Amino acid sequence: MLRIPQSQFLSPEDLATCQRVFDRICADARLDRKSVDGELLASTVLAIFQSGTAIDDAELLAAVRARRKDFTKLLG
């Protein structure tokens, strides 16, 4: 579904998308959600989502990971 940013307010569906991406990256990178890095990640997810450049979970996930290399999945 194409998302066109209309305002600074997010719908429940928008919040759910952002939450899924945030949770996925936290799990993959073993980030504490309440840490400074977790807060930075949350801000990054919301900023990218509100910019309208990512229209679904997969695109948002890729965009956040592209912006922040430290949010990529830890190996080993």
Number of domains the chain contains: 1
Report the largest interatomic distance among the alpha carbons of the chain, rounded to a whole angstrom: 42
Predicted TM-score (pTM) of this structure:
0.80
Domain that holds residue 31: 12-69
10-residue stretch averages of pLDDT, the chain, 76 residues long = 59 94 94 93 93 89 84 54
Residue indicated by tokens 């579904």: 1
User: Does residue 1 form part of some domain?
Assistant: no
> What local confidence, expressed as pLDDT, does residue 1 receive?
46
CB 21 within 8 A of CB 46: no
User: Does residue 6 form part of some domain?
Assistant: no
> What local confidence, expressed as pLDDT, does residue 73 receive?
58
